[in-house]
Amino acid sequence: MRILIVGGTGKFGAWFVPFFKRHGFEVLVSGKSGKVDVARQLGCEYVFLERLPSVVPTCDWVMLSVPIDAIERVASQVAPHMKEGSMLFDVCSLKQGPLDAMLKVAPEGVEVVGTHPMFGPTIPHLEGQTVIMVSTSRSGSGFERLRQMLEEEGAHVQQMSAREHDMAMAVVQGLTHFAYITIGSTLRRLEFDVGASRTYMSPVYEVMVDFVGRILAQNPYLYALIQTNPAASEVRRAFVEEAKRLASLIDGGDVEGFVASMRAAASHFGNTEAALRRSDKLINWSIAELERLQSMVGKEVVLEHLYTSKYHRGVLKSADKQEVVLGTGKRQVKLKLENVRMLEGEELSAWRAEHVPTRRRDISVLLCEGAREDVLVHLLSSLEHVARAEVIDVYELKGKRSATFRLHIFSDAHISQVEKRAVEMLVGLGCTPRGSDKKRAERDLNPRPAG
């Protein structure tokens, strides 16, 4: 299968390149900017615009990752060259206009599908994300395969009509973005120092400010185009009128009127208690993340930079709400807290297995009756700092079974301490150390008294 992503050198289009590769597609990218270097970094062939008429007929799917106001023009350049049985789909945040444009120019026999991924290109994976899909009278097997691919990677796929989508997005995106951008614009008008306020802000305020900043950090043209949703105009009008009405109640000293309005809004909202609990979880998670980092001060950690995908390993010197300081040799690295996350558990073990060399240590024991080597290997592999364990020899000795286990221990660990814990575990399970392992076990388990 072959897919062409028009706009594939942009941030969002590029995000989907590894997704389609994981599902066995050969991925080609194209764009008006001619970013051949980006295509090379993605491991894709770059298709210049003049080659589209000859390349498009060879593609099974074509994805349009372009601004809403460019969909009609780009679709008219690409769709007429598509072969029968292929599929054309977009990722725009509006659906009626783009679908009408694609249906207008796509030849008979070409599937037309609308999608709206409800996330940006900064998310690491699809797990837990929502993708809206809109079928048309010309949707078929391609629609179902794309849906299956998204769901296989953990996405929640919601199917709805183009009209339902655009009405919902007028509130979900239009109102939300407009409110956050208005707050940001108000802070500018007041010349309010947002950075300074972080030293005394409440957790709720901090979350709100971060969401405002999240929107303001992105492409303003994209957010302006989202506001062009015809249904968003009425939503904005209602928002402005409600803001004026509530302000007039307070300005006029009508506290009871304001209280009544807030209670009416709460009643319409529904389960406010559930919303309170969910927001508490969000706030508490943020606090807990910082507390986990602070508990590791003085210890070695591995941090992943969320936006460069670079890993930083070192001794954690300090961590606060603004930054994390790592000691790496004689120098220190300062990282913004919001840009990193600490690897833990199995993920940390997997990273170490890939980046840290190991040292081998063999342990020979007499097995107790009924002991299973595979179970012992599993238990040994679960020890901290053990990359993996294996059985390298099993034999009979004077009517008893004996086995030699090989431990692959991370070289940055205290090797002898890990080996000692492994022997202690085996002894605790009824095994008897042999040879040098026996002497070491006797020494470790029965140390001589001091003096």
pLDDT category at 436 given cuts 50, 70, 90 is low
Res. 441: pLDDT tops 70: no
Grade residue 438 by pLDDT with cuts at 50, 70 and 90: low
Residues 280, 120: Cα–Cα separation, whole Å = 24
For residue 126, pLDDT beyond 70: yes
Domain 2-160 of CATH type 3.40.50.170: no
For residue 326, give the 3-state DSSP assignment. Answer: strand
Phi, psi (degrees; rounded to nearest 5) at 208: -60, -45
pLDDT at 324: 92
CATH number, span 296-343: 2.30.30.100
Contact 415, 408 (CB under 8 A): no
Per-residue pLDDT tens digits for 60-82? 999 999 999 999 999 999 999 99
| Contacts of 83 by beta carbon, 8 Å cutoff, 6+ apart | 57, 58, 59, 110
State the average pLDDT for the chain: 91
Burial string for 187-223 (b: 16+ CB within 10 Å, else e) reads beeeeeeeeeeeeeeeeeeeeebeebeebbeeeeeeb
DSSP 58: G
Tokens 């690409």, residue located: 78
- The yes-or-no answer to whether 165-269 and 356-445 have a common fold is no
Please report which confidence band the pLDDT of residue 445 belongs to, taking 50, 70 and 90 as the band edges: very low
Q: Where are the alpha helices (DSSP H) in 115-231?
A: 141-152, 162-169, 176-189, 194-197, 203-216, 220-226
Topology of the domain comprising 356-445: Alpha-Beta Plaits (3.30.70)
394 Rama sector, left if φ>0, alpha if ψ -120 to 50, beta otherwise: beta
pTM recorded for the entire structure: 0.65
Place of tokens 């890990």: 418
Which pLDDT value is given to residue 437?
Answer: 53
* Res 201 pLDDT > 90: no
Q: How does DSSP classify residue 191?
A: T
Neighbours of 450 (CB within 10 A): 4
> 74: Cβ–Cβ under 8 A, 6 or more apart, which residues?
6, 7, 64, 66
Contact (CB, 8 A) for 344 and 289: no
Express each pLDDT in 12-52 by its tens digit: 999 999 999 999 999 999 987 778 989 999 999 999 999 99
Full strand arrangement of the beta sheet holding 323-328? 331-336, 323-328, 311-319, 300-305, 340-342
Does 3.40.50 match the CATH number of domain 165-269? no
φ/ψ of 371, rounded to 5, equals -70, 140
Q: Where are the domains of the chain?
A: 2-160, 165-269, 296-343, 356-445
Write out the E strands in 329-371. Answer: 331-336, 340-342, 358-366
Section 283-288 average pLDDT:
82
Look at the block and give the residue holding tokens 């794309």: 146
Q: pLDDT at position 60, please?
A: 98
How confident is residue 450, by pLDDT bands cut at 50, 70 and 90?
very low
Helices (H), 71-189: 71-78, 96-105, 141-152, 162-169, 176-189
Q: Which residue has the higher pLDDT, 54 or 275?
A: 54
State what percent of residues in the chain have pLDDT above 70. Answer: 96
Does pLDDT of 348 surpass 80?
A: yes
